[in-house]
């Protein structure tokens, strides 16, 4: 597989992660804890694979892709907010995941909504950025 294909694989991973997050949210809202756990572990695994792929592409790829479209201000606003949010996801996701796995329900619930919102935002804006760059 050529390294130039990684952005296309990354958008699939990001999309699948977003869907898993939504599935996990729906499952916990309907009190299906085991299904919630499965969805959230899936989202974490997909996001971990995405992060490894993303870092590989940026370490060994051709460099950043320039946005050449007509909506530069929209692109930059989304990109900047995405970049500001992205580094926070990993520590939040790990903390939330560990609290859930360890059965610390109150502690888990205290940060889960923030983690979900930021993680979902980052996944969806990642897909949006890809679409603006490549479609």
CATH number reported for the structural domain that contains residue 19 in this entry: 1.20.120.80
Range of the domain at 24: 3-134
Measured CA to CA in angstroms, residue 47 lies from 17, 62, 68, 89, 107 at distances of 6, 23, 28, 10, 22
pLDDT at residue 67, rounded to an integer: 94
Domain count, the chain: 1
pLDDT at residue 65, rounded to an integer: 87
Distance from C-alpha of 98 to C-alpha of 38, rounded to nearest angstrom = 14
What six digits make up the tokens of 109? 């619930």
pLDDT at residue 78, rounded to an integer: 98
List per-residue pLDDT tens for the chain, 135 residues long: 789 999 999 999 999 999 999 999 999 999 999 999 999 999 999 999 999 999 999 999 877 889 999 999 999 999 999 999 999 999 999 999 999 999 999 999 999 999 999 999 999 999 999 999 999
Overall pTM > 0.85 = yes
């Amino acid at each position: 597989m050529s390294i130039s294909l990684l952005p296309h694989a990354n958008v699939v991973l990001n999309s699948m992660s977003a869907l898993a997050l939504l599935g996990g949210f729906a499952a916990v809202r309907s009190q299906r804890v085991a299904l919630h756990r499965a969805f959230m572990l899936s989202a974490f695994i997909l996001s971990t694979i995405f992060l490894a792929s993303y870092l590989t592409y940026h370490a060994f790829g051709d460099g950043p892709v320039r946005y050449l479209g007509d909506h530069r201000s929209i692109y930059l606003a989304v990109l900047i907010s995405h970049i500001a949010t992205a580094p926070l996801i990993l520590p939040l996701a790990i903390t939330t995941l560990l609290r859930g796995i360890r059965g610390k329900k109150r502690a888990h619930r205290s940060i889960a909504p923030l983690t979900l919102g930021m993680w979902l935002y980052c996944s969806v804006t990642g897909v949006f950025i890809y679409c603006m760059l490549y479609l």
